[in-house]
Amino acid sequence: MAELRTETLTVNMGPQHPSTHGVLRLVLELDGETIRSARTTIGYLHTGIEKTAEQKKWQQVIPLVERMDYLAAQSNSLAYVLGVEKLLGLEMPTRVQDIRVLLAELQRLASHLVWLGTHAMEIGAVSMLFYALRERELLMNINELIAGFRFFPSYFRVGGLREDLPRGFHDAVNAFLARFPGKLDEYEGLLTKNDMFRRRTEGVGVLTQEEAMGWGLVGPIARASGSDYDVRKYFPYLTYATYDFEVATATEGDVFARYRTRIKEMRESWKICTQAIARITPTGVHACNDTRVVPPPKDKVYTEMEALIQHFLIYSQGFTVPAGEVYVPIEGPRGEHGVYLVSDGTNRPWRVKMRPPSFMAIQALPSIIEGGMIADVIAVIGSNDVVMGDCDR
Partner 1 sequence: MDAAAIIDVLTALVPGAAYEPSPSVDFATLYVAPDRLVETCQALRDAPALGFNVLIEITAADYLPRQPRFEVVYHLLSIPHRSRVRLKVRAGDGDLVPTVQNVWPAAGWPEREVYDMFGIIFAGHPDLRRILTPDDWEGHPARKDYPVQIRKAVQTYEPLEITEEEFKANLERDRVRRPLAK
Residues of this chain that interact with partner 1 (CB under 8 A) are: 42-43, 46, 48, 50-52, 55, 86-87, 89, 213-216, 218, 227, 229, 234-235, 324-329, 336, 338, 340, 342, 350-351, 353, 355, 359-360, 363-364, 392-393
Q: How far is the CB of 67 from partner 1 (least distance, A)?
A: 16
Q: How far is the CA of 300 from the CAs of 116, 164, 213, 287, 316, in angstroms?
A: 48, 17, 53, 16, 18
Q: How far is the CB of 361 from partner 1 (least distance, A)?
A: 11
Q: How far is the CB of 37 from partner 1 (least distance, A)?
A: 13
Q: Which positions ≥6 away from 115 have C-beta within 8 Å?
A: 71, 262, 333, 382, 385
Q: How many angstroms separate the first and last alpha carbons of the chain?
A: 55
Q: How far is the CB of 108 from partner 1 (least distance, A)?
A: 20
CA dihedral 332, 330, 152, 390 (to 10 degrees): -60
Q: Which is nearer to partner 1, 246 or 325 (CB)?
A: 325
Enumerate the H helices of the chain as residue ranges: 49-53, 61-66, 73-88, 94-122, 127-147, 169-191, 195-201, 209-214, 220-223, 231-234, 255-279, 298-303, 305-316, 357-369, 374-384, 388-392
Q: How far is the CB of 350 from partner 1 (least distance, A)?
A: 7
9-13 vs 160-161, strand pairing mode: unpaired
Q: How far is the CB of 88 from partner 1 (least distance, A)?
A: 10
Q: Which is nearer to partner 1, 117 or 333 (CB)?
A: 333
Q: How far is the CB of 202 from partner 1 (least distance, A)?
A: 26
Q: How far is the CB of 54 from partner 1 (least distance, A)?
A: 8
Q: Which is nearer to partner 1, 55 or 141 (CB)?
A: 55
Q: Which is nearer to partner 1, 149 or 235 (CB)?
A: 235
Strand order in the sheet with 351-355: 324-332, 335-343, 351-355
Distance in angstroms (rounded) separating the CA atoms of residues 201 and 205: 8
Q: Which is nearer to partner 1, 105 or 392 (CB)?
A: 392
The candidate with the shortest Cα–Cα distance to 365, out of 103, 114, 41, is 41
Show contacts of 198-203: CB within 8 Å, 24+ apart: 198/256, 200/123, 200/124, 200/255, 200/376, 200/379, 201/123, 201/254, 201/255, 201/256, 201/259, 201/379, 201/383, 202/252, 202/254, 202/255, 202/256, 203/254
Q: How far is the CB of 161 from partner 1 (least distance, A)?
A: 23
Distance in angstroms (rounded) separating the CA atoms of residues 134 and 114: 10
The candidate with the shortest Cα–Cα distance to 157, out of 94, 71, 85, 240, is 85
Q: Which is nearer to partner 1, 151 or 327 (CB)?
A: 327
Q: Which is nearer to partner 1, 51 or 298 (CB)?
A: 51
Q: Which is nearer to partner 1, 10 or 52 (CB)?
A: 52
Q: Which is nearer to partner 1, 100 or 337 (CB)?
A: 337
156-157 vs 335-343, strand pairing mode: unpaired
Q: How far is the CB of 44 from partner 1 (least distance, A)?
A: 9
